[in-house]
């Protein structure tokens, strides 16, 4: 057994048993972050805080929510919104955070794409990030079922129908997923379980893994410079903090994060108090009715781009295109054949590729909300094909970049 001395303080007592000082050093005070980064590197921490807000507000909602098809709608729209003290506030925080978390994820993802933060050595950061994206998508979808409004019901119907795999008509799988022929009580209670227990557990686990994947490669920087972290850290510790290219996670980097977090909080609570409706579909304020289909069924804004990729094609081709959109981002570290870690605007054709992808995704998002008729159909098809074309072109243009020795 290790040798324990008489402790001189509570900290010393704990330190002898839990190696608190070593843990703090490894995870915080000697966890080195490049100095050459901007506010976009705060998104990860803001995402973690927003997830925290979702958990806390979710716990309060859970105290009054009723997972029963006869009670769910009223427990949200009457009990929580009008009778429970500050119930409306917790619901608005939860709804706005659920929507804003996707805005943050997209900014975080496109930042990583722009700066090449998914390349050699950082692939696992990207892959765990994409698993988080999938897990958050499932979390958002299952949460959307819970108020049991018209959109909950019909979006649940449409999405679970996808499990029949088009012309294969595997209706048995759809029924197995729903626990019934149509969305009903078994459907609601299993999505409730997923939303409040299984998926949050998975998300917490993957966030821990995502943080762990950052520890060895360290975060990237604005120039994609390959920093010798050991040498720069030694310089910092020797007192030459000015010339060192790195800073401590705690408190140097954290203090910057907290500043950006402060601005984010102003924006967030502005939405919570004045514009919470942007996160709520008006159709979902009508109770679920299996006998009346809404005129237009569309998902929340953050799923619109992939929904729009599904729409222009026929039954099977649409499903394949949709599947393609779901997995293709995951493969990015392997489809980009160039080793050049640099901002997109210094990578020639890749820069054009990056901005085209961003514009195509925004266009698909806008079109996904519009009715599938006339010119919108044509535009939808053009942008869906452009999305596919861009991903097919990626290995080619990055191979060309590699051959030309990169343009860093």
Q: Which is nearer to ligand HEM, 64 or 133 (CB)?
A: 133
Between CA 268 and CA 289 the distance in angstroms is 33
In angstroms, the Cα distances linking 178 to 107, 153, 162, 181, 288 are: 34, 12, 12, 7, 16
Q: Of 12, 119, 176, whose CA–CA distance to 340 is shortest?
A: 119
Q: Which is nearer to ligand HEM, 152 or 213 (CB)?
A: 213
Q: 3-state DSSP call for residue 287?
A: strand
Q: Which is nearer to ligand HEM, 105 or 394 (CB)?
A: 105
Q: How many helices (H) and strands (E) does the chain have?
A: 17, 2
321 scored as a contact of ligand HEM (CB under 6 A) = no
Footprint on residues 208-247 left by ligand HEM (CB under 6 A) = 210, 214, 219-220
Binder among 31, 32, 47, 53 for ligand HEM (CB under 6 A): 47
Task: For the CB of residue 119, give the shortest distance to ligand HEM in the complex, in Å.
Answer: 9
Q: Characterise 241 by phi-psi region: left (phi > 0), alpha (psi -120 to 50), beta (else).
A: alpha
Binder among 13, 29, 35, 45 for ligand HEM (CB under 6 A): 45
Task: For the CB of residue 154, give the shortest distance to ligand HEM in the complex, in Å.
Answer: 28
Binder among 65, 73, 114, 126 for ligand HEM (CB under 6 A): 126
Residue labelled with tokens 């990207």: 126
Task: For the CB of residue 308, give the shortest distance to ligand HEM in the complex, in Å.
Answer: 20
Task: For the CB of residue 105, give the shortest distance to ligand HEM in the complex, in Å.
Answer: 5
**How many residues at the interface with ligand HEM, by CB under 6 A?**
25
Q: Which stretch binds ligand HEM (CB under 6 A): 121-129, 281-289, 305-313, 378-386?
A: 121-129
Binder among 72, 80, 132, 360 for ligand HEM (CB under 6 A): 132
Between CA 363 and CA 382 the distance in angstroms is 10
Calculated CA dihedral for residues 295, 297, 298, 300, nearest 10 degrees: 100
Task: For the CB of residue 318, give the shortest distance to ligand HEM in the complex, in Å.
Answer: 25
Binder among 31, 51, 307, 353 for ligand HEM (CB under 6 A): 51
Footprint on residues 173-212 left by ligand HEM (CB under 6 A) = 207, 210
| Residue 144 CB partners (closer than 8 Å, separation 6+) | 151, 152, 155, 300
Binder among 57, 117, 142, 164 for ligand HEM (CB under 6 A): 117
Query: Nearest-5° angle of CA 5, CA 11, CA 16?
Result: 35
| Residue 364 CB partners (closer than 8 Å, separation 6+) | 304, 305, 306, 308, 309, 380, 383, 384, 387
Residue labelled with tokens 């044509």: 378
Binder among 28, 29, 36, 48 for ligand HEM (CB under 6 A): 48
In angstroms, the Cα distances linking 383 to 112, 129, 140, 387, 396 are: 23, 26, 25, 6, 20
Task: Compute the 3-state secondary structure of the chain and give helix, strand, coil in percent, each to the nearest 5.
Answer: 70, 0, 25
Between CA 361 and CA 306 the distance in angstroms is 9
Between CA 330 and CA 245 the distance in angstroms is 31
Binder among 112, 272, 321, 357 for ligand HEM (CB under 6 A): 112
Binder among 61, 80, 96, 109 for ligand HEM (CB under 6 A): 109
Binder among 31, 32, 41, 153 for ligand HEM (CB under 6 A): 41
118 scored as a contact of ligand HEM (CB under 6 A) = yes
354 scored as a contact of ligand HEM (CB under 6 A) = no
93 scored as a contact of ligand HEM (CB under 6 A) = no
Q: Of 10, 99, 104, whose CA–CA distance to 54 is shortest?
A: 99
Q: Which stretch binds ligand HEM (CB under 6 A): 82-90, 114-122, 275-283, 371-379?
A: 114-122
Stated length of the chain: 408
Task: For the CB of residue 313, give the shortest distance to ligand HEM in the complex, in Å.
Answer: 26
Q: Which stretch binds ligand HEM (CB under 6 A): 37-45, 137-145, 148-156, 356-364?
A: 37-45
Footprint on residues 143-172 left by ligand HEM (CB under 6 A) = none
254 scored as a contact of ligand HEM (CB under 6 A) = no
Can you give the binding site for ligand HEM, defined by CB under 6 A?
Answer: 41, 43-45, 47-48, 51, 105, 108-109, 112, 117-118, 122, 125-126, 129-130, 132-133, 207, 210, 214, 219-220
């Amino acid at each position: 057994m290790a040798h324990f001395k008489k402790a001189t303080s509570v900290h010393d007592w704990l330190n002898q048993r839990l190696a608190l000082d070593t843990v703090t050093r490894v995870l915080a005070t000697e966890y080195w972050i490049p100095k050459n980064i901007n506010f976009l590197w705060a998104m990860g921490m803001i995402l973690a805080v927003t997830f925290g807000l979702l958990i806390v507000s979710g716990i309060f909602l859970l105290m009054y929510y009723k997972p029963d098809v006869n009670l769910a709608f009223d427990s949200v729209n009457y009990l929580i919104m009008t009778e429970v003290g500050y119930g409306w506030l917790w619901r608005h925080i939860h709804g706005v955070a659920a929507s804003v978390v996707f805005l943050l994820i997209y900014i975080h993802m496109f930042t990583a794409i722009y700066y090449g933060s998914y390349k050699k050595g950082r692939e696992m950061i990207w892959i765990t990030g994409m698993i988080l994206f999938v897990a958050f998508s499932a979390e958002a979808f299952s949460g959307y079922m819970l108020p049991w409004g018209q959109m909950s019901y019909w979006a649940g119907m449409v999405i679970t129908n996808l499990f029949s795999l088009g012309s294969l008509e595997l209706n048995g799988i759809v029924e197995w997923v729903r626990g019934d022929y149509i969305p009903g009580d078994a459907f609601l209670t299993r999505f409730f379980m997923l939303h409040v227990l299984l998926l949050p557990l998975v998300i917490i686990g993957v966030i821990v893994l995502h943080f762990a994947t950052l520890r060895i490669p360290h975060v990237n920087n604005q120039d994609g410079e390959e920093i010798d972290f050991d040498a720069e850290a030694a310089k910092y510790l020797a007192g030459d903090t000015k010339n060192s290219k790195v800073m401590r996670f705690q408190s140097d980097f954290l203090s910057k994060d907290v500043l950006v977090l402060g601005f984010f909080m102003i924006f967030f609570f502005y939405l919570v108090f004045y514009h919470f409706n942007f996160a709520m579909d008006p159709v979902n304020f009508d109770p679920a009715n299996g006998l009346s289909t809404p005129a237009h069924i569309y998902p929340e804004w953050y799923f619109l781009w992939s929904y729009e990729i599904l729409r222009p094609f026929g039954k099977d081709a649409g499903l394949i295109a949709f599947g393609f959109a779901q997995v293709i981002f995951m493969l990015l570290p392997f489809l980009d054949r160039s080793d050049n870690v640099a901002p997109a605007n210094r990578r020639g054709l890749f820069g054009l590729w990056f901005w085209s992808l961003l514009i195509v995704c925004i266009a698909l998002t806008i079109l996904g909300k519009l009715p599938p008729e006339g010119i919108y159909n044509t535009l939808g098809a053009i942008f869906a094909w452009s999305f596919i074309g861009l991903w097919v072109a990626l290995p080619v243009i990055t191979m060309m970049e590699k051959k030309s020795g990169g343009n860093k």
